[in-house]
Every structure is written in structure tokens, then in C-alpha cells.
A = this chain, B = another copy of it.
Amino acid sequence: MSLIVQKFGGSSVADAEGINRVARRVIETKNAGHDVVVVVSAMGDTTDDLLDLANQVTPEGPAREMDMLLSSGERISMALLAMAIDAQGGSAVSFTGSQAGMITDALHGRARIVEVSPARVRRAIDRGMVAIVAGFQGMSKDSNNITTMGRGGSDTTAVALAAALGADVCEIYTDVDGVYSADPRVVPSAHKLAQVSSEEMLELAANGAKILHLRCVEYARRFGVPLHVRSSFSHHEGTWIVPSPDDKIHLQEGEPLEQPIVAGVAHDLSEAKVTIIGVPDIPGKAAEIFGVIAGANANIDMIVQNVSTAGSGRTDISFTVPISEGQAALEALHAAQESIGFADIDYNEEIGKLSLVGAGMRSNPGVSHTFFKALSDNGVNVDMISTSEIRISVVTHADRLAKAVEAVHTAFGLDSSESATVYGGTGR
């Protein structure tokens, strides 16, 4: 018997039918002999509807009151789920964020968890009940105001509770089967990953894989909570996200114990490329530039600085920012053009980023050769390159991105015609 935290998103509890389906799922788990803690998001579009309502009143409501408003959504879904479980013969009790001891800082709208004291949740479990906790919300430590945690908040609530309760696993239920070796909409032959390490998942999420919020994966990794991403519409095993590669477990008979070199290919079309042309090649200029960008609250991802053309004393600096923050960055740069003394700016939203992620890269030097060969063989022109210990990312033209993702996916033997654990880079 183990303690399982199950998180269900808004699409899983969008209506009474969904709530009843989730209730059945929870009761099945409970009847299998496990203790169950459930974290729910607001029903379907509830949060958006509440935001619309707020906008009708004022476009800029005080953050504290926005949190008071938005936090009501989970209270509805969790109470209904408790009723559904009760109606199906189970026994459940629901708790608001503050009742569940989710103590946060006072940053309304994007509160961070500072402490989790789930005494009431624990008592409910000990009494044999299913504890249902409102996701996405907490109570600020000093002011005792209701706070919300922003995007991915409910996933974070689930992981934080799992960590505080010492749960054996935190199951994140979603509308897909799990984490794939690439976006199946781009690569039809992509296969579901049985397991992936936290650091790999972090790189995948940070580089375009939408399935899990970065924050929840970071939290799970820090506290050593195993995540199991799976579908609320099927009983198939999903993808296990294990805190470290050593935790990867032997799943099926006959599966090699050795791990695949690469986990998957992520892609991202949400960034734009900014090239600052003719920057005086003297110390401190880069710092000046990135200071300006930071001042505009734009988040820089990749950075490339070319060597200065011989004798010109000038160089070009390229970097990528989210398209949504591009204009702010440009305005800030133009405003600082004189002081920085650069010649011109080139701005391009027609780019795409491809990232190959795999913990095995560390020990497999052949990877980059296979990677770039696959791109060149398929006529994909590489614009920028950045790497981490377990990732290679390139920026290419947006039109070529899908082709590039497919080519790399195939080159590393990730296509599902082959087993999920066959090694990539056989051509090395």
C-alpha cells in the first residue's frame, strides 16, 4: 500500500460527467489499497470566465482581489468531486489551499510556496478518507490573504503536497498519454517515453515541450518526487519522470538496462531572433545590451556573438527572446542605440528552435556529429547553436523546423517502428 497524489486538470473535470469519471478513477485507486490525495483545478473554462467577469468590472483589479476571485474556481470543482466520490460509495473531504496548509509568499497571482503543513490532509488520510485539495491556491504567510500561484500552479500544488506527505508518486492526469519523443503532430512516428529523468524533462519543457510546467518538474526534482504523467481517459501507463537517471527502473521484460542516449526532440516556434549589428567590440558592451533587455522584462534564451570582422573593431550579437516580449526589447534597444553605439538591429520572428535532449550525451561524443549530419543531409540551414551537458539546440528558419525535427528524430532511432530504447546514432 502506498500514498498516491493524483492531479486532475480543468479539462478532466470540465462537467458533471468528467467529475464522475474522475471520481471513479480515484475510488479505483483507493480500492486498490492506496491512500489517495487528489488535487483539482477549476472546471474547464471557469478561470477564464472569472477573468472575463473581472474585465467587465475593471481591466486592472487589485492583485489580492483577483486572487480572491480566481481561487473560487477550485472550491467549486473540489466540492463537486467530493460529492461525486461520496455518491459512488467512497468517502472524501475537500480542503482549500489554506486549509491544506499551502503557505505561500505574498506575490499575488504568482505566489511561491514557502511552507506546506498538510496536517488536516494527513488526518483525513489517516481516517481512511480521500483528501481533495484545491490546486493553484494558498495563503500568504504573513498577511493570511488568499494567493494564487499562476500558470502550472495546480501541478506545483500536487508535487508540493506529494513531497510534504512523502507520497510514493505524484500522478499528473492530462488529456495525452504521456511525454513523447517529439510532438506527435509534427512527427507521427514519435513514441511515448516510458521514463525520462527530471533533468531531461526540464530541458524538454524549457525548450518547447508543453506537457508539464517547468516549475513543477523543478520542484519534483528538488524534493525527489517521482512524477507519472498519464491520461485521465485511459488506464495505460504514461511517462515516469524520475528524479535522477539512476532511479530509472527496469520496466518490461527483456528491456536493456542501459539507457537510451537521447530522450527526445523538442521544438519551439514562440521565439524571435534579434541581431544587433556593429556593436563596438570593447568590454562591457554585451553587458550594456543585456542590461537594457532585462530592463524591458524580456527573457533572453540563446546568445551568439560572432568574432569581430578583422580590423573593424565591431561585432554582431544575436540572441532570441519570446515573440511576446520582442517589441518591448526592440523599443528598449532603439532607445539605447546611441549610448551603446551599435549600427543597426535585425529582428526576425520566422525562426524555430530544435532541441535534442538526452542524459546519455555526456558520455557519447558521437551525438553532435549524427545530429548535424541529419540536419545537413536534409538541407536544414543552422542559424544559431547552443548546448548544455544534455542538450543541443539549433535555431533554423521556421519553415524548415518540422522537417528538421523529423530528420533528427529518425537519425537517433526514435521512430516508434523501433523500440523506445534502441540507441540513437547508430551511424556514428
Q: What are the residues of chain B within 8 A of A69 when measuring CB–CB? A: 75-76, 79-80, 83
Query: What CA separation (Å) do A66 and B96 show in the bound complex?
Result: 14
- Do B86 and A61 have beta carbons less than 8 Å apart? yes
Which chain B residues lie closer than 8 Å to A75 at the CB level? Answer: 68-69, 71-72, 75
**Contact indicator per residue, chain A 49-76, by CB within 8 Å of chain B (1) or not (0):** 0100110111011101110110111011
> Could you tell me if A144 and B99 are in contact, using CB atoms closer than 8 angstroms?
yes
A69, A79, A80: which has the most chain B beta carbons within 10 Å?
A: A79
A93 to chain B minimum Cβ distance, whole angstroms, is 7
Would A78 and B68 count as touching, CB distance under 8 A? yes
Q: Assuming the A-B contacts A50-B76, A69-B80, are A20 and B57 also in contact, with contact meaning beta carbons closer than 8 angstroms in the complex?
A: yes
CA distance A84 to B65 in the complex (A): 10
Interface residue tally on A, bucketed by range: 35 or more
Report A179 CB to chain B, min CB distance, Å.
32
A87/B61 in contact, CB under 8 A:
yes
Known A16-B53, A99-B144; contact A72-B68, beta-carbon cutoff 8 A = no
Nearest residue in B to A84 (C-beta to C-beta)? B57
- Which residues from B are CB-within-8-Å of A96? 68, 146
CB atoms of A58 and B79 under 8 A apart: no
In the assembled complex, how far is the CB of residue A15 from the closest CB belonging to chain B, in whole angstroms?
8
Report how far A357 CA is from B78 CA in the complex, Å.
48
| Contact call B16/A56, Cβ cutoff below 8 A | yes
Q: List the B side residues contacting A58 at CB < 8 Å.
A: 83-84, 86-87
| Integer count of this chain's copies in the complex | 2
Tell me if A83 and B56 are in contact (CB < 8 A): no
- Once A65-B82, A75-B72 are accepted as A-B contacts, the answer to whether A57 and B93 lie under 8 Å apart by CB is no
Q: Are A53 and B82 in contact (CB under 8 A)?
A: no
Per-position 1/0 for A230-246, Cβ under 8 A of B: 00000000000000000
Query: Closest CB of chain B to A102's CB: distance in Å?
Result: 15
Let me know if A19 is at the binding interface, CB within 8 A. yes
A157 proximal to B (CB < 8 A): no
CA distance A99 to B64 in the complex (A): 14
Query: Bound complex: CA of A71 vs CA of B146, how far in Å?
Result: 15
Interface status of A355 (Cβ within 8 A of chain B): no
| Residue A94 lies at the interface, judged by CB distance under 8 Å to chain B | yes
If A50-B76, A53-B16 touch, whether A87 touches B66 (CB-CB below 8 Å) is: no
What's the Cα separation between A78 and B69 when bound, in Å?
8
Of all chain B residues, the one with the shortest Cβ separation from A74 is: B72
Bound CA–CA A54/B54 (angstroms)? 25
Interchain CA distance A58-B50 in the complex, whole Å: 25
Known: A61-B87, A86-B58. A53 touches B76 (CB 8 A): yes
Residues of B near A94 (CB, < 8 A) are 65, 68
A141-152 interface bits toward B, Cβ cutoff 8 Å, 1 = contact, 0 = none: 000101000000
A72:B65 contact, CB within 8 angstroms: no
Interface positions, chain A 341-360, Cβ under 8 Å from B, are none
- 10 cross-chain pairs, A with B, having the tightest CB-CB distances, nearest first: A61-B83, A58-B87, A16-B56, A69-B79, A68-B79, A72-B72, A65-B82, A72-B75, A65-B79, A57-B84
Query: What are 21 of the A-B contact pairs (CB < 8 Å)?
Result: A15-B56, A16-B53, A16-B56, A53-B80, A57-B83, A58-B86, A58-B87, A61-B79, A61-B86, A61-B87, A65-B83, A65-B86, A66-B79, A68-B75, A68-B78, A68-B82, A69-B79, A69-B80, A72-B72, A75-B75, A99-B144
Which A residues fall within an 8 A CB radius of B? Answer: 15-16, 19-20, 50, 53-54, 56-58, 60-62, 64-66, 68-69, 71-73, 75-76, 78-80, 82-84, 86-87, 93-94, 96, 99, 144, 146
